[in-house]
Chains A and B, each alone.
Chain A
Amino acid sequence: DSGVTQTPKHLITATGQRVTLRCSPRSGDLSVYWYQQSLDQGLQFLIQYYNGEERAKGNILERFSAQQFPDLHSELNLSSLELGDSALYFCASSVLGQGNYGYTFGSGTRLTVV
């Protein structure tokens, strides 16, 4: 157990729907990162939050949004889902927001869009 908790572990939904993925960071970590891993693209950085505020943005689609709450848990919202959004979605956390600190990854949410 890495200390980073992601729920749900698996999610199956239809095209056009909206889903919310949840992440609780490791105790004491202030920064949360979201990643997408698909078979053809590998791991892609989506977005980072630090202490409730957006810190960095990667290849996140406009249909996707995220937020970090006062208790530091984060949610990734995916809307108007397409077949191509099927992937593993990972959350990671780190103590601070700077780049030289290691990330701890959760075990991921596997999203299947049918």
Chain B
Amino acid sequence: KNQVEQSPQSLIILEGKNCTLQCNYTVSPFSNLRWYKQDTGRGPVSLTIMTFSENTKSNGRYTATLDADTKQSSLHITASQLSDSASYICVVIKTTGGSYIPTFGRGTSLIVHP
């Protein structure tokens, strides 16, 4: 059972529009939550890393939020560009026995149309 659920599974938007991707998790004990962007056939690239005490973090046009109480995170993309077309993956890191174990969501596939 995947403990990190992302929605929507896929999303199509027009260039210039904003969008928000969701991530709900049940992974514990929580260490940090990350958002990655993965272009087809390429390795994921880190967008943001948030620890328990951080509510929001921005990276250019990407803004991630975290509500550790409700175990929800979102990734907001502003003024989308064609190059934003990719899969966006939410990753939750848990601590166990001194190790840090990542659990990945299945990703949201974003397509930006001109």
Q: Write out, one digit per residue, whether chain A residues 81-95 have a CB within 8 A of any chain B CB (1) or not (0).
A: 000000010101000
Chain A residue contacts of B44, Cβ below 8 A: 43, 90, 105
Q: Which residues of chain A (42-89) have a CB below 8 Å from chain B?
A: 42-45, 48, 55-58, 88
Q: Write out, one digit per residue, whether chain B residues 77-93 have a CB within 8 A of any chain A CB (1) or not (0).
A: 00000000000010101
Which range holds the interface residue count of chain B? Answer: 20 to 34
Q: Which residues of chain B (1-40) have a CB below 8 Å from chain A?
A: 2, 31-32, 34
* In the complex with contacts A99-B93, A106-B43, A45-B102 CB distance below 8 A: yes
* In the complex with contacts A43-B89, A55-B99, A56-B99, A102-B104 CB distance below 8 A: no
The answer for the CA separation of A90 and B45 in the assembled complex, in Å, is 12
CB distance from A15 to the nearest CB of B (A): 24
CB distance from A31 to the nearest CB of B (A): 10
The answer for the CA separation of A91 and B100 in the assembled complex, in Å, is 16
Which range holds the interface residue count of chain A? Answer: 20 to 34
Chain B residue contacts of A102, Cβ below 8 A: 34, 46, 49
Residue of A88, A90, A99, A103 with most partner-chain B CB within 10 A? A99
Q: Which residues of chain B (40-60) have a CB below 8 Å from chain A?
A: 41-46, 49, 51
CB distance from A92 to the nearest CB of B (A): 7
Q: Report yes or no: B95 in contact with A99, Cβ–Cβ below 8 A.
A: yes
The answer for the CA separation of A13 and B110 in the assembled complex, in Å, is 33
The answer for the CA separation of A2 and B107 in the assembled complex, in Å, is 21
Question: Would you call A108 an interface residue if the criterion is a C-beta within 8 Å of the partner chain's C-beta atoms?
Answer: yes
Chain A residue contacts of B46, Cβ below 8 A: 102-104
* In the complex with contacts A99-B93, A100-B32, A44-B43 CB distance below 8 A: no
The answer for the CA separation of A85 and B29 in the assembled complex, in Å, is 30
Q: Which of B89, B100, B104 contacts A56 (CB 8 A)?
A: B100
* In the complex with contacts A56-B99, A103-B46, A105-B45, A42-B106 CB distance below 8 A: yes
The answer for the CA separation of A33 and B95 in the assembled complex, in Å, is 16
| Residue of B with least CB distance to A98 | B100
Chain B interface residues (CB < 8 Å from chain A): 2, 31-32, 34, 41-46, 49, 51, 89, 91, 93, 95, 99-107
